[in-house]
Amino acid sequence: MSWKQTLENAGPGHWVLPKTKSMRCDAHLFLSDVLLFGEDGGGGVEEDVFAQVVNACTFPGATRVVLTPDCHVGYGVPIGTAIETEGTLLPTAAGYDIGCGMVQLSTSLTWEDVADKAKRRLWIDEVVRRIGVGVGQPGAGKGSLKKMNEIVRHGAKALGRGHDVTERAVVPVEDDSFDIPEVAWGKRHQLGSLGGGNHFCEMQVDDQGKVWVMLHTGSRGFGWNIAKQFFVEGAQLLGLTGGRSEDKIWFDAESRIGCAYWNLHNMAANFAIANRLLIGEAVCEALEHVFGGEAKVYYEISHNLIQREGGRFVARKGATRAFPKHHAALEGTVWEASGHPILIPGSMETGSAILFAGENAKDSLYSVNHGAGRRLSRTQAKRTLDQKHTDLRMAKLGVVLNTRNTPLDESGPCYKDLEQVLGSVELAGLAHVERRLKPVACIKGND
């Protein structure tokens, strides 16, 4: 029997996996029938997600677990999970790319200003010249490296930026006496770099013809090496062995190792915030250089992070925070009356979206999806998708790329139907779609 048959319906687009003896709490799944069960009842969410949901619910201190509509198999817990805990920290629920997230840039340009493919290609060249693209590349933050100690402790504030354009101007580092791992500090030159994999810089046009740019990146090698150190130390401390020992790691937040992880995790998050803002400002310069007009950072937000909310820890792994209007955390910000923007990438073929949270977001730990969610692994994509047909589709869409061929493992068929995912969010009343965006130029790290 499929675990899906044990779910209880709690409302439109809202399902509950009841607590069992091994689980410390229920799990709440926010998915439409189609996303959960598939078009004909024979597909939908992978069966392997069940074990990871149960794992999320069995961690010491777990009080609430939520799955978002883009959920799929991850490491330890599903991608697209929010977990509330009391007194414990879950490194597996922040992952290796601590603080990974999005930046949206707004511009004064219209489609007519960027319609010339040659100019869009020139813009791609100008962006690539200004930032690091690809695994291990140095970034555009050379001028800020002398501020690195301030950046990892004070995030956007170290760059003179604040809450108007950031989800968090700073992620608090409560105790900076813990040594940053030498191998992580050695990656500080990656500040201002995009990286590879699913990270991207994409020019987009909305339904009214306004030009935007969306960026996706995180804490790069700096955060990865911090995470790696604690996965290794945590496995040793808990006596875990085997290839997936990090799936089970947790720390008492008051312990020495818990305090060390918390503060260094927050330093990585500050690195990620600064990284996105520096890249965003470099991209704005490239836009203005090639097309004229004005460009600025609209909003920055994370989707791989643990933070304190309501007196407990909330870990979001591939999930985006969604505070509605008049939420206490937004008091005094420009977003108080509307809620903050929620930036949701889809794929380079299907486009992206900007959402704003609804009142029901409280039911999902104020969390929604972070994208469309993968339906094909990278290996499956490269094995089953046809390069020629993929390139032809992209050519017909008019999307200009920085790569000779479309990366198969990042092409449209690799991801779930964005319409279904966004529809699930709206069905459950978690958020509403404010703006849809279609890609017209895309920069990817070609691994």
What pLDDT, in 10s, does the model give residues 146-156? Answer: 899 999 999 99
Predicted confidence at residue 161, as pLDDT, reads: 86
CB atoms within 10 A of CB 175: 10
Q: For residue 294, which amino acid is it? A: E
| Predicted TM-score of the model (pTM) | 0.96
Q: Are strands 27-29 and 62-75 parallel, antiparallel or unpaired?
A: parallel
CATH number for region 3-444: 3.90.1860.10
What pLDDT, in 10s, does the model give residues 164-175? Answer: 899 999 999 999
Is residue 447's pLDDT more than 60? no
Whole-angstrom distance, CA of residue 30 vs CA of residue 363: 10
What pLDDT, in 10s, does the model give residues 195-228? Answer: 988 999 999 999 999 999 999 999 999 999 999 9
Predicted confidence at residue 42, as pLDDT, reads: 64
Q: Are strands 295-302 and 304-309 parallel, antiparallel or unpaired?
A: unpaired
Proportion of the chain above pLDDT 70, given as a percent: 99
| Average pLDDT taken over every residue of the chain | 95
Q: Domain residue spans in the chain?
A: 3-444
Instruction: Work out whether the CA dihedral 320, 326, 327, 328 comes out positive or negative.
Output: positive
